Amino acid sequence: MLPLRASAVPVFANGQGGANCALCHTVVPQLSGYGRYVLMTNFSRGLNRHLQMMQNRSLPIALEATANASNPAATGLPALSSSLVQWLSAGFLGKEVSYFASVPMVSGGFPAASVDQLWVADNAFDRGNGSLQIGRFATPVFAPWISQSLSLSGYGIASMQVGSNAATLADNRWGASYTQVGANGLIGNVAYLAGNGPIENALATVDEGSAWSASLQFLSPEKHWSGGLATLVGSNLNSGGAIDRYTREAALASYDIGRFDLLAIGTIGHDTLPLPLSAASSTSKAYSLETIYAPLSWLHLDTRYERINDGLGNDTTNYIVDAALDLRPNIVLTVEDLARPGATPITQYQLLWAGPWFRNRMPPGTMQPTPDLHGLSAAHARALENGRSIFYTGKDLAGVRIHGPDPLRAYQSCAVCHQPTGVGGVRLPDGAISAELGPHAHMRDNMGVSSATNAMAGMPGMSAPAKPWSIADFERAIAHGVDNTGMALSPVMPRWQMSKRDLHDIALYVLTQLHPHG
């Protein structure tokens, strides 16, 4: 059974203050650098756990569905069908335990046979820098890229089978995986993988045998470059009953700048006995070169060249072009053309919806009370109301959204990263911890505890101040990333761009209305 293409999880968007899907996706289902980091760390970095648990109390699930067509028509399917209908749930079972479940009802146009992914992760190892994942999950060899393809065809380089060896880099398999987050964007992983059958056969190794994987990746949302090296070593029984011992070595390099995303992936594999009744071994090779361009915020164009050789005489070349249109952040229309030398081109169409999605809405019961405006001048009251709107929704009362240096990139609202009360302590990418706000704003250490400096997380700036903050101090911190002592804040903190009036109003609200400790 082929794994499903991974997708958007509106449960997360709803739990992060009704964030735009573009927080984690360039276009659903492809992940942005931020989304890749969140997925690679098993959701332990970059999401507000408290808000997510509050949201999941009222609505812990979401639904994803697609309508698909193909020319020529897919074998065994009507002209219009659904390739995927599935339930999705994700979040936190406690402060340090995250989970994810995707349960398809329809897969590939036919009734689904089993769960797609189902795992839990304990993220408390090594002071929150280590995560142990158990269950059925994507093979951790560049999964944030391979499992989240914009292309309707997915990556042929990842789904390549060699002879009777059904194990591929695109599989979702039962097992255990440990991820260690290091400094400067380095993330290491080691995993043991069993079969990919139903849950009652979770430890069975009949179809795919068992394998170990290891990878070292560089992945930081604030850097243009990302990539890494990975290996998969395993064995299984071929269809003739002999043991095929195999390896897969892989390398990935990605460069993301503005509207362009360049990606190169290469693999080399070796199988000792991939064919039944044959002593021949094989050396497989494959590579993929891809460019994704966004000429408009709602349009992404993906072009990819793939060359796949399984070492057994099967050599495939793919030319793939996709155009994905965001009708809404959670509704995407994708058109793809797949061409191979000597074969009839295949054109595919897909309309994807995932929801429900509650845009710009904080989870129930999490917002601070409306400020007491009694006795204030009309201008002062209006400023506080406007600042409150920006703090919770990222938009002013006129509906104008604030943004960082890159207007195409989406962020959570101030309240999601710094907590609705301003207490901070949310774990963010690259070891940063969101600051506590209010008149005595300061950083918190990497365990979420107030500290004079954030040295443990390696983040300079915002040491416990000798004097209270002023409106001008907050304006400088918000717009220029400099605290009230003149030190630069972490690059994870966006340098927000907005009107002078909005900047004044959000600074006024943060200074006068946030009292994290009562």
User: Each residue of 21-46: pLDDT tens digit?
Assistant: 888 998 888 998 999 999 999 999 99
Structure confidence at residue 203 (pLDDT)? 63
**457 closest CA partner among 473, 476, 444:** 444
Peptide bond just before 10 cis, omega within 30 deg: no
**CA–centroid distance for 65 within its chain:** 19
Angle at 49 between CA 29 and CA 15, to 5 degrees: 50
Pairing of strands 186-193, 172-181: antiparallel
Q: What percent of the chain has pLDDT over 90?
A: 64
Helices (H), 278-423: 378-393, 414-418
pLDDT tens digits along 219-242: 988 889 999 999 999 998 887 888
- Residue in the structure block whose two tokens are 């097992």: 175
Q: Name the packing angle between helices 500-513 and 378-393 (round to 10°).
A: 90
**Partners of residue 336 on adjacent β-strands:** 322, 348
- Residues 10, 357: contact at Cβ < 8 Å? yes
**Partners of residue 293 on adjacent β-strands:** 260, 301
CB atoms inside a 10 Å sphere around CB 369: 6
pLDDT tens digits along 347-373: 999 999 999 998 888 888 788 778 888
pLDDT tens digits along 297-325: 899 999 999 999 999 999 999 999 999 99
- Residues 424, 435: contact at Cβ < 8 Å? yes
**155 closest CA partner among 341, 350, 286, 253:** 286
| One-letter identity of residue 208 | E
CA distance 96 to 83: 35
**Partners of residue 339 on adjacent β-strands:** 319
Comparing 14 with 121, which gets the higher pLDDT?
121
- All domains in the chain, ordered by first residue: 10-198+209-355 (2.40.160.10), 378-513 (no CATH)
- Among the residue ranges 152-156, 194-198, 498-502, the one predicted with the least confidence is 194-198
Comparing 165 with 247, which gets the higher pLDDT?
247
163-189 b/e (C-beta count within 10 Å ≥ 16 → b)? bbbbbbbbbbbbbebbbebeeebebeb
Q: pTM here?
A: 0.90
Q: How many CA atoms lie within 13 A of 475 on its CB side?
A: 12
**Partners of residue 92 on adjacent β-strands:** 98
- Residue in the structure block whose two tokens are 């219009």: 80
- Among the residue ranges 166-170, 295-299, 449-453, the one predicted with the least confidence is 449-453
